Amino acid sequence: MSLLKSAWEIALEKTENIEIDTDKIRRDNLIDEGRRMAGAYLGELDALLSTLESNFEKKSEIEKPLIKKGLALTVLANIALPQGDDYQERVVKMQHIAALIDKEEGESVELLSQIGTFMGKYLDSRDNLLERARAQYKPLFDQKKQQMEAQYGRATYSSMEQDPEFIGFLQKNYNQLSTQFQQTLNNAKEQLKENWNIEK
């Protein structure tokens, strides 16, 4: 008899005593289903709130808390600093989902409304920062332009947006602004987690 066991035999021995936790699998599947429901509603332009509500109402009272957890996790994952004005519709949809999670009178609907307002302030601050940065950098840019024209007969950059120094200056300021706003947004997300009893 061979002293060496085949990899197959070793694998069988290791898996003999493994028990499948069917309750955990069922819970995870329901949370994932809640995530998919919220993702479909947030991600599809023509998604109807009535479809989301109908799919939620079909669930049993035992299943609903796990579906709600999946819905909540998706909302939390979708809260981020906006890049453009299309964030508003997304925030409204997140409020609809929040109303399913803890009803219209729940704190989360109001908190998401405040988050939406905050996102608007971020975009305004970002636009204002660009204007302030241009005004602040313009004397330096004009001086550099004159020096280049004197030295080479023409300026290398026709606008500030082409100047690597200006781009670096602007990026540094954008990063500081984003960091400040992101911290406040993170605090709001933590408050939502607390409202929805989601572990940190």
Q: Residue 39 burial by CB count (10 A; 0-12/13-18/19+): exposed, middle or buried?
A: middle
Of all residues in the chain, the percent with pLDDT exceeding 90 is 60
- What is the model's pLDDT at position 94? 96
- Residue owning tokens 């840019």: 141
CB 170 within 8 A of CB 136: no
Average pLDDT, the chain: 88
Copy the structure tokens of residue 141.
């840019």
Q: Residue 27 burial by CB count (10 A; 0-12/13-18/19+): exposed, middle or buried?
A: middle
* Per-residue pLDDT reduced to its tens digit, 110-158: 999 999 999 999 999 999 999 999 899 889 888 888 887 777 777 677 7
Half-sphere exposure of 92 (CA within 13 A, CB side): 9
pLDDT class of 3 with cuts at 50, 70, 90 = low
* Per-residue pLDDT reduced to its tens digit, 7-57: 667 766 666 666 677 888 899 999 999 999 999 999 988 889 999 999 999
Q: Rounded distance, CA 44 to CA 32, Å?
A: 18
Q: Rounded distance, CA 197 to CA 31, Å?
A: 14
Q: Write down the pTM of the prediction.
A: 0.79
pLDDT class of 1 with cuts at 50, 70, 90 = very low
46 versus 95: which is more confidently predicted?
95
Domain boundaries, the chain: 107-200
Q: How many residues does the chain have?
A: 200
Q: Quote helix, strand, coil % in the chain, to nearest 5.
A: 75, 0, 25
